[in-house]
């Protein structure tokens, strides 16, 4: 079983690359954003709880996010592994994921960070915002706030995963095909 965490700043290309990787390696792609939208739309207990925080403008606590993700993993344990996109975002989420996978007698195979220059990423997001309809992709200050949150909460995971020996940095600059080739090279050598 291959279990990969794909992370990077907003606009780094995680979603684009996940579409290719899930097919190539027969992985279940678990996007935190998709899981949130599904639970909220279907008014699950966890969705209602998450929405109660979001409606107040608060971040959904790690515990609620983790419960949603674990439920999604439990419901999709029939493929060759998982591609986690947008999770974990904090040290406590990383520890919870490690503990859960250990109970399932598996582990993370690799954590892969797509790295790119902030100025280019901001331009990517502003361009995406013209067609995505996402208000957080249309405002440079909101984008910078998302980067600040990434730097504060998610970037420290790099050290956590380096200590585990499964961290890989991949250059997220260039064409989609070039980035895909870089990612494939890392995964094929695991």
Q: pLDDT tens digit string along 52-75? A: 988 887 778 999 999 999 999 999
Where residue 8 falls (left for φ over 0; alpha for ψ -120 to 50; beta otherwise) is: left
**pLDDT beyond 80 at 49:** yes
Question: Do residues 30 and 72 lie in contact, with contact meaning Cβ atoms separated by under 8 Å?
Answer: yes
* Cβ(174)–Cβ(114) below 8 Å: no
Residue 142 banded pLDDT, cuts 50, 70, 90:
confident
Which pTM does this prediction carry? 0.89
Every domain of the chain and the residues it spans: 2-183
CA 16 to chain CA centroid, Å, is 12
At residue 14, does pLDDT exceed 80? yes
User: Per CATH, which fold does 2-183 belong to?
Assistant: Rossmann fold (3.40.50)
CB 97 within 8 A of CB 69: yes
Question: How confident is the model over 74-101, as pLDDT tens digits?
Answer: 998 877 899 999 899 999 999 999 999 9
Peptide bond between residue 88 and the one before it cis (omega within 30 degrees of 0): yes
Q: What is the pLDDT confidence band of residue 162, given thresholds at 50, 70 and 90?
A: very high
Radius of gyration of the chain (CA): 16
- 5 with 108: CB under 8 angstroms? yes
């Amino acid at each position: 079983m291959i279990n990969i965490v794909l992370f990077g700043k907003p606009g780094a290309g995680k979603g684009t690359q996940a579409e290719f990787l899930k097919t190539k390696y027969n992985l279940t792609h678990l996007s935190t954003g998709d899981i949130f939208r599904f639970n909220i739309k279907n008014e699950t207990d966890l969705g209602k709880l998450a929405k109660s925080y979001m409606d107040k403008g608060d971040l959904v606590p790690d515990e609620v996010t983790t419960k949603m993700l674990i439920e999604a993993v439990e419901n999709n344990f029939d493929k060759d592994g998982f591609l986690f996109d947008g999770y974990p975002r904090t040290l406590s989420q990383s520890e919870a994921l490690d503990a859960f996978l250990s109970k399932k007698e598996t582990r993370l195979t690799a954590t892969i960070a797509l790295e790119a220059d902030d100025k280019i990423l901001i331009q990517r997001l502003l361009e995406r915002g013209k067609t995505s309809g996402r208000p957080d992709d249309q405002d440079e200050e909101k984008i910078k706030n998302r980067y600040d949150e990434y730097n504060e909460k998610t970037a420290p995971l790099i050290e956590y995963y380096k200590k585990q020996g499964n961290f890989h940095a991949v250059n997220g600059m260039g064409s989609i095909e070039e980035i895909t080739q870089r990612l494939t090279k890392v995964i094929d050598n695991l």
